[in-house]
Structure 1
């Protein structure tokens, strides 16, 4: 083993130690596996020189190929939810923090995450317009429909009726949280923004099957 890779290993171990203390849900070995995955399979030499991390395109590929996501708008919002500092790259810390919620988040954490994904303009509310945009993307069009948008509008009204507890025509965080606690299936009411259990299991098996030796 060259000096460089021994040094790299030490750096990765230290980083894993730090991140596993800061981020809930992953122990040190798991954090180290995720750092290796980030550097290895998803990164390349250029990324490491620039030190940026995963760009939107690479991250979308992961969401699509690994987690089965297909909706462009939702994938873009998931990228923004992971990219906490808005620098258009996902750093290794953002990767591990994001995956902690994505793979193993508590209901509380998942509610916060989904709300952020669906609040397209970041104003703290999910408006009728935002619901319309997201649902319009996720619905399969019936060729026989006169005006397919009418069906989407009906769905928005149904969602509001079920979730808008203070009846102000939009969903606040409290509305969303209350509705999801009453009916967990509403967590992804406006589009699939979390991976299903089968994909989580496959990803974890692949990521954690060869833990690094210490």
Structure 2
């Protein structure tokens, strides 16, 4: 079995990141001879912790220079894609912009228990499925509970600066390498796959990389 290391650069506030991971899972299901070591890497779409929260549709309208109707249609398309992948995006049009730095710290912490992916998926569900504020510590603790980890320890972590440096290092590293949008899949520290590619495309790329690695 060929092992591949995948660093998945993503943000909890990025719907394409959730879709990209779900498509990666589908791709890997067709590649039984490839094993993957996946590491979630932090990226912030809204890095200003002091920025006021804003309803997502007008925020996206301003960011991309399109009408709110256009953004609503684009979001509806994402909701359809997500549903087909088993993701809960049912309230994504009702969410607000928010900072995800503390959520990324929890993912780093969960990784020490082998539960980084479970934490990431709980956070995606909270933000896109429940329109919850994933900068709010109580929301984050609910995600910890849903992941099966200790909420008392998590509460202490959130009150501290634990794992903050690891998150900052991720963000700085991938900015320096020129990554400006997510998801980004970095394979074996050498190959870059940008965006939420279709499962067939991902599978073909991973197969080729695995063949070259042998």
TM-score normalised by L of structure 2: 0.28
Which structure features the higher share of helix residues?
1
Q: Which has the larger radius of gyration?
A: 1
Higher relative contact order (CA 8 A, sep 6+): 2
Which structure features the higher share of strand residues?
2
TM-score normalised by L of structure 1: 0.28
